[in-house]
Amino acid sequence: MHIRSYQPGDEQALWQVFHSAVHRLAAAYYSPAQLQAWAPSAPDWPAWSSRLQALQPFVAVDESGCVLGYADLQADGYIDHFFVAAQHARHGVGRLLMQHLHQLAAQRGLDRLSADVSLNAQPFFQHFGFVLVRQQLPVLHGVALANAHMRKTL
């Protein structure tokens, strides 16, 4: 398993990771309507492609090139996307991605990381030293989705 940069053509594989993470890993924390608002069955491919181009995520792949997860690190230390495919959860993919983001943050001279994380992801982020700043209730496609703003001082 290793980390590589996002490449054009990754859009479908990253959507599958995102969709499986939301619909399978977060299902115990959110209603079907919330899951559908967060990760609809039919993506808007041009918008998804543009989003990935803007995020420039890092992609975890196995030896055969299969995409296992992805995460990004913005210039200000904000982690916008951090997702592991449901079938690869709890196998070290998230740990590898988080370690990669920490290394990048150090290289970039960042003094903190932050993220708005789902209810199911809070324990994972806490494990890596993030602390809860506030609970939030953003609205996505007319549906409220509880999450937590978390921060880590480096």
User: Which pLDDT score is estimated for 83?
Assistant: 98
Spatial distance between the Cα atoms of 151 and 145, rounded to a whole number of angstroms: 19
Spatial distance between the Cα atoms of 104 and 120, rounded to a whole number of angstroms: 25
User: Which pLDDT score is estimated for 80?
Assistant: 98
The per-residue pLDDT for range 31-76, each reduced to its tens digit, is: 999 999 999 988 999 999 999 999 999 999 999 999 999 999 999 9
Q: Which residues contact 123 (CB under 8 A, 6 or more apart)?
A: none
Q: Is the confidence at residue 6, as pLDDT, over 90?
A: yes
Which CATH homologous superfamily contains domain 2-110? Gcn5-related N-acetyltransferase (GNAT) (3.40.630.30)
Q: Is the confidence at residue 148, as pLDDT, over 90?
A: yes
Name the pTM for this structure.
0.95
66 forms beta bridges with none
Q: Is the confidence at residue 5, as pLDDT, over 90?
A: yes
Contact, 152 vs 127, CB < 8 A?
Answer: no
Sketch the domain layout of the chain as residue ranges.
2-110
Spatial distance between the Cα atoms of 50 and 56, rounded to a whole number of angstroms: 10
The per-residue pLDDT for range 88-141, each reduced to its tens digit, is: 999 999 999 999 999 999 999 999 999 999 999 999 999 999 999 999 999 988
- Give residue for tokens 């181009």: 53
